[in-house]
Amino acid sequence: MEHNANVRGANRAGWWSRSSLGTKLFIVTSVATVVVMAIIAVIMGWQTQQTAREAVAREMATSLQGVDNSLQLTYSSARDRATQLFPVLERELGGRPQLDGFADDAGVPYLIVHDTIINGDIGPLMRVNENTGADPAIIVKAPQGWVRVSTLLRDAEGNVRLNSVVEPTDLLARTLDSGRAYGGLVQRLNRWYAMSIQPLADEAGKVYGGMSIRVDVHDQVSNVLQLVANAQVAEFGSFGLLREGA
């Protein structure tokens, strides 16, 4: 067996030595060509993969910018829509509410406009609602907290929630506590609203009350959120929205 293997090895070595220079060059160049082509194929595959990744990254960036623009536009337009209604509310009230210096039996201070008490008077608020669709409210600081002295909010039985106390953790109460105006989107009972809050302060800068305006923008916001949910990236990816704290 060992003798046969040595004979075959010698025959192969003899074949190579007996081959012409042209045959040897052909074999060497063919092998070299195959190796070079394999290397080129690997490089082209890598470049194609890199190009595909860069294309996906560009498409994601473009899609994300479009989504961000849509959300920002919806947010700013909703915020501005509510904020721009404060002059309308003040016009219907006849001016900006001021402290009267007196309070009712529950200790809730009276607010007046040109010597007219506005506590419990929802007429001006109804006119704003009929003309704009907005829900205004007038709030005052009382011993029991922030109290709605004029509002269109109703309870489960349909009664207007006059003199209802705002929950301390509610956005309205927290904004008035801070003394800074607010404008943005809020979600109440699974509906989206544009909410603007304007503190009322005396000459010393002490906040004694506030005005709020709420506008239903549920359809507009829902449409944008649905558009985001349906947006496709690179034909197979999609966007998702995370709530704060998620």
Question: pLDDT per position in the chain (246 positions), as tens?
Answer: 554 555 455 555 566 566 665 565 666 666 666 666 766 666 666 666 666 566 656 666 666 666 666 666 666 776 777 888 999 999 999 999 999 999 999 999 999 999 999 999 999 999 999 999 999 999 999 999 999 999 999 998 999 999 999 999 999 999 999 999 998 888 888 888 989 999 999 999 999 999 999 999 888 877 877 776 676 655 555 555 445 443
* 201 touches 207 (CB < 8 A): yes
Spell out the domain ranges in the chain: 2-43, 80-222
* 197 touches 172 (CB < 8 A): yes
- Domain 80-222: CATH superfamily, name plus number: PAS domain (3.30.450.20)
Cα 150 to Cα 148: distance, rounded to the nearest angstrom = 5
pTM: 0.67
Q: Tokens standing for 170?
A: 């509610």
Q: In Å, what is the CA distance from 58 to each residue of 55, 113, 222?
A: 5, 58, 27
